Amino acid sequence: MSEQKPRWSSVDQIAAEVLSCTRCVLSETRTRAVPGDGSSTTAVMFIGEGPGQNEDEQGLPFVGRAGKLLNSLLAEVPLQREDVYITNVVKCRPPGNRDPEPDEVAACLPYLQAQIELIDPRVIVTLGRHSMLRFYPQGKISNDHGRIIDIGGRVLLPVYHPAAALRNPRLNQTLREDMRRIPEAVRKSLLLRRPAEPGSKPEHRSALTESEEDVQPVAESSDTSATGSDTEAADQRDQMSLF
Ligand code: URA
Ligand code: SF4
């Protein structure tokens, strides 16, 4: 993921560049770019698909109806929006809320990759199918929602998109249950052995991060024993479900 030297040294720097970005045609129709919002030291990062109309108008992610639902589901975890970071695969609204084109996703991906590297969350919660597929291309949202999946040093928790849950009460309940697995996902992520990096940050201190002593030492999973000493090896590890 990071063969090149990082272009940005902070999440704010990324946001500043996104605001004036013209790397794809979505820049021609957007009102405001939506870089992302929240804590840059969080253990939990949410990734949606792309801004909708309200987000495009306000320059903030998940501020419309789907955002209101997300806020109430976060409160049940319990988490506050300020405790987590929320962003999207593409930072500008696709006209008429169409799916982003592959070239638009590709143009925007360096921003998302850099956000993940700099924030370095323990858990990535993908909102919706498209976002899940960026991290877990073999995934199927109807099977894989709510699973805690090792993606190499951190875990992925794919959930249904809140907009889908607004349309379908059954999905609403499923989304609610899946979101309640976030604390467990954070605990599981702490059981993954991560290679120590020179100059690495201290442990995340944000909400839901419990000390490792609090985590029951469940049976060592076979993958952790194979963890090599460098990040590359960890990143290349086969994706697997912890549960
Ligand atoms: N839907 C998304 O995927 N992202 C937003 O920011 C808002 C709605
Ligand atoms: Fe730039 Fe991404 Fe917006 Fe395209 S969607 S203009 S790549 S910020």
- The answer to whether position 4 is within a domain reads no
Q: Is residue 3 part of a domain?
A: no
Ligand 2 center–CA 193 separation, angstroms: 35
pTM recorded for the entire structure: 0.83
Distance between CA atoms of residues 127 and 44, nearest Å: 13
Buried b (16+ CB within 10 A) or exposed e, 11-48: beebbebbeebebbebeeebebbbbbbbbbbbbbbbbb
What's the 91 CA to ligand 1 centre distance in angstroms?
10
From ligand 1's centre to the CA of 61, what distance in Å? 6
| 189 assigned to some structural domain | yes
Atom of ligand 2 nearest to the CA of 50: 5
Q: Whose CA is nearest to atom 7 of ligand 2?
A: 108
The verdict on residue 92 lying in a domain is yes
Decide if 79 is inside a domain.
yes
Whether 5 is in a domain gets the answer no
Q: 141 lies in a domain?
A: yes
Q: Which of 189, 165, 188, 167 is nearest to 175 (CA)?
A: 165
Say if 1 falls within a structural domain: no
First-last CA distance in the chain: 25
For 239, counting Cβ atoms within 10 Å of its Cβ (0-12 exposed, 13-18 middle, 19+ buried), the class is: middle
CA distance 91 to 228: 35
CB 134 within 8 A of CB 100: no
84 CA to centre of own chain: 10
144 lines ligand 2 (CB under 6 A): no
User: Which CA distances in Å does 9 have to 5, 13, 23, 117, 122?
Assistant: 10, 7, 20, 10, 19
Enclosing domain of residue 51:
11-240
Tens place of pLDDT for every residue, the chain, 243 residues?
545 667 999 999 999 999 999 999 999 999 999 999 999 999 999 999 999 999 999 999 999 999 999 999 999 999 999 999 999 999 999 999 999 999 999 999 999 999 999 999 999 999 999 999 999 999 999 999 999 999 988 999 999 999 999 999 999 999 999 999 999 999 999 998 666 656 555 554 444 544 433 333 333 333 333 333 333 333 333 445 565
pLDDT in tens, 11-43: 999 999 999 999 999 999 999 999 999 999 999
Domain CATH code at residue 231: 3.40.470.10
Ligand nearest 33 Cα, by number? 2
Packed helices 65-76 and 169-179: angle between N→C axes, nearest 10 degrees: 40
Between CA 206 and CA 194 the distance in angstroms is 18
Domains: count for the chain: 1
